[in-house]
Chains A and B, each alone.
Chain A
Amino acid sequence: MATSEARVPRLGRLERSALTGVLVREVVNFSSYWKSTTFSSTVEPTIYLLAFGFGFGSLVSTIGGYDYVDFVGTGTVATAVLFSSAFPAMFGTFVKYQFQRTYDAILAAPVDTEELVTAEALWIATRAGVYGCVPMLVAIAFGLDPAWGMLLVPFIGWIAGFGWANFGISIAGYSKSFENFNYVISAVLTPLFLLAGSFFPLDGFPEWAQVLAAFNPLYQCVQLIRAAVFGNLGWDDLFRVGVLVGFGLLVWRIAIRAMTKKLID
């Protein structure tokens, strides 16, 4: 076929223009709801810091050599990353698939499911990286000392956020209804959230729980952020980055598989 069409190179996988298309849609949409998102992601950590700071802070002044406010302030960063990635990914994906049918429109365009999922996860990761810094800024207002290592926090948040975003997309992909999210939130996210050392150290936990925590990306994220903020990064932190990257890559492929199953029949 000697047509102009035939000279167009075969379109590949993970094309930049396809990713850009999906990202532009998210960015333009974000311009219509950024105020409420920014409000909640600022007010929530403030409330956490006030509650834990005044509540526990009156009982314990230091934990593991850190001021309690500093300890909670850094712990809340990882929590904020989780909340601004896993939850929007779960609910957003489900809504866009089921109710808004946005994905039908996107997949009718020259965008494949792999590109759609990747772009959505990149976008959520970026948001999580940025919003993850908000509790840190609030903690600075509460007395956390600024440090150069803090500049690493958005990147740590981005890597963790990419994993959690894909985790959320996977859950949405495999769920038939919103109700299934309850199981995941109660049985997976809540234990991971509490076994992360955000609000209290895990020293008092039985040893098996501490071993288990090593596999918890949220725990590794908390540890990395503390190391960066308090300026004591070491070689073991490279391992923590590895855990986060490995987690991200694994759930990324799972998310693509889940959504392909859901969107293409």
Chain B
Amino acid sequence: MASIVSPRHLQGARHWHPARMEPELAIRMRGVVKRYGQITAVDGLDLEVPLGTCVGLLGPNGAGKSTTMRLLTAQSIADEGELEVLGFALPGESKQARARCGVVPQLDNLDTTLTVEQNLLVFTHLYRVPRAERHAAIERSLELAKLVDRRAERVDKLSGGMRRRLLIARALVHQPRLVLLDEPTVGLDPQVRQELWALIDALRSEGTTLLMSTHYIEEAERLADTVLIMSHGTAVAAGPPSELVLEHAGTEALEVYGGPARLAEVEAEARSAGLRTRRTGTSVSILGIDGRNGFRLEGERRPANLEDVFVLLTGEEIA
């Protein structure tokens, strides 16, 4: 299984120099299994996140993304397999690992009756920022999240987007080496989502290692250096988004529109020509059409994308 995320396209400033003797991987999971009664939420997952990269965990709801995130903070304990975060073995040394990680949870758990600044202050204590550095840490986080003007505002007076930004800022007060983002933009307006992408991208370019779970294809495509596609608790493919697309869906797809009967015909025809298809609601996408001119179906040619790969590999549609 091609589950080792390759750092080779990332050599350069963002990659840690080996002479520093740092662990090269921020996260290393091998054969991790997590069961809840009859349900196996994570089923033999291998995951590697090299330092200085952004890895996207892409998968439909129930694929095991959130469980993976909980495993990495030792809030879930794996039944089998090995986990290492920043060189610390979990769960035994998870406290050391947690001290160096920032976590942005999927569900907002800010203290809503406190101000923006008070929320950050509490976290400088929880993350043991030395007294002399607390003030600067809060200022830095406020600036990063563009919440300087809102510092004295109570959280329950903030908009959804500002609360999300604060949630991210809160995870950064101690300048963590690794940040875990669990569905960072779920349920937000498109504009707000873009705002957050800019924020996450800024972190990325500063060299912070990121592991981000998402079920938004576009989010993974834009932010992740490498994507790991998860389905039923395991990795079904991994690699840079462009390589995954090329490998699994080719370069071009043909999108054919029509009524249900027409779409069924199109599917049959494409399959008889040895091509793979997927339904996209009102149309059928014929994949791997790559410059074939002889194919006589009329439709709209478009570049293949990560969503094609996702549907091909997981057999599941995604939001």
A3's contact among B22, B77, B98, B114, by CB below 8 Å, is which?
A: B22
Q: Does A149 contact B (CB under 8 A)?
A: no
Contacts of B73 in A (CB 8 A): 107-108
Asked if A265 and B126 make an inter-chain contact with CB atoms under 8 angstroms apart, the answer reads: no
A111 interface contact, C-beta 8 A: yes
Closest A-chain residue to B119, C-beta based?
Answer: A28
Nearest neighbor of B171 in chain A, beta-carbon distance:
A108
Closest to B107 in A: A101
Q: What is the minimal beta-carbon distance from A2 to any residue of chain B, in angstroms? A: 5
Q: Per-position contact with A for B94-123: 1 when CB-CB < 8 Å, else 0?
A: 011011110101010101111000100111
Q: Are A5 and B86 also in contact (CB < 8 A) when A10-B93, A20-B125, A25-B125 are? A: yes
* 8 Å CB contact of B87 from A1, A104, A109: A1
Known: A28-B118, A101-B105. A11 touches B125 (CB 8 A): no
Instruction: Compute how far the CA of A13 lies from the CA of B186 in the bound complex, rounded to whole angstroms.
Output: 36
Most buried by B among A10, A29, A32, A105: A105
- Flag A94-109 by CB within 8 Å of B: 1 or 0 each: 0000001110111111
A111 neighbours in B (Cβ, 8 Å): 126
Tell me whether A110 and B75 are in contact in the complex, defined as CB-CB below 8 angstroms, given that A28-B122, A32-B114 are known contacts. Answer: no
Residue pair B96, A102 in contact (C-beta under 8 Å): no
> Does A264 sit within 8 A of B, measured CB to CB?
yes
Report the nearest B residue to A103, measured CB to CB. Answer: B109
Question: Which of B70, B77, B96 contacts A5, CB < 8 Å?
Answer: B96
Q: Indicate if the CB atoms of B113 and A32 lie closer than 8 Å.
A: yes
- A24/B122 in contact, CB under 8 A: yes
The CA of A5 and the CA of B118, in the complex, are separated in Å by 29
CB distance from B214 to the nearest CB of A (A): 19
In the assembled complex, A140 has its CB within 8 A of some CB on chain B: no
Per-residue A-contact encoding for B137-161, CB less than 8 Å = 1, 0 else:
0000000000000000000000000
B126 contacts A106, C-beta separation under 8 Å: yes
Contact B23 A1 (CB under 8 A): yes
Q: Which of A22, A104, A264 contacts B126 (CB 8 A)?
A: A22
Q: Known A10-B93, A11-B99; judge A109-B75 contact (CB<8 A).
A: no
- Cβ contact within 8 Å between A108 and B103: yes
Contact A110 B127 (CB under 8 A): yes
A109 contacts B74, CB within 8 Å? no
Give Cα A189–Cα B77 distance, bound, in whole angstroms: 35
Bound form: Cα–Cα A8–B97 in Å:
11
- B interface SS class: loop
B109 contacts A102, C-beta separation under 8 Å: yes
- Answer whether A29 and B113 are a contact pair too, CB < 8 Å, given A8-B96, A24-B122, A111-B126: yes
Neighbouring B residues of A2 by C-beta, 8 Å: 21
Task: From the candidates A17, A20, A25, A263, name the one contacting B75 in the complex (CB within 8 A).
Answer: A263
Beta-carbon contact of A110 and B118 below 8 Å: no
A183 surroundings in chain B (CB, below 8 A) = none
Q: Tell me, in angstroms, the Cα distance from A100 to B112 when the chains sit together.
A: 9
Is B75 a contact partner of A104 (Cβ separation < 8 A)? yes
Task: Digitize A105-141: 1 where CB-to-B-CB distance is under 8 Å, 0 elsewhere.
Answer: 1111111100000000000000000000000000000
A21 sits at the interface (CB 8 A): yes
**Interface hits, B71-89 → A, CB 8 Å:** 73-77, 86-88
State whether A264 and B77 are in contact (beta carbons under 8 Å apart), knowing that A1-B23, A1-B87, A5-B87 are contacts in the complex: yes
**Chain A neighbourhood of B22, CB < 8 A:** 3
Binding site for A on B (CB under 8 A): 20-23, 36, 70, 73-77, 86-88, 93, 95-96, 98-101, 103, 105, 107, 109, 111-114, 118, 121-123, 125-128
Other A-B pairs, 5, CB within 8 Å; known A5-B87, A24-B122, A265-B70: A3-B20, A21-B126, A105-B103, A110-B98, A263-B75
- Give 21 A-B contacts (CB < 8 Å), ordered by A residue: A1-B21, A3-B23, A5-B96, A5-B100, A10-B96, A11-B95, A20-B125, A21-B127, A24-B125, A24-B126, A102-B109, A104-B75, A105-B103, A108-B75, A108-B105, A110-B126, A111-B126, A264-B74, A264-B76, A265-B75, A265-B76
List the interface of chain A (C-beta within 8 A of B). Answer: 1-3, 5-6, 8, 10-11, 17, 20-22, 24-25, 28-29, 32-33, 100-102, 104-112, 263-265
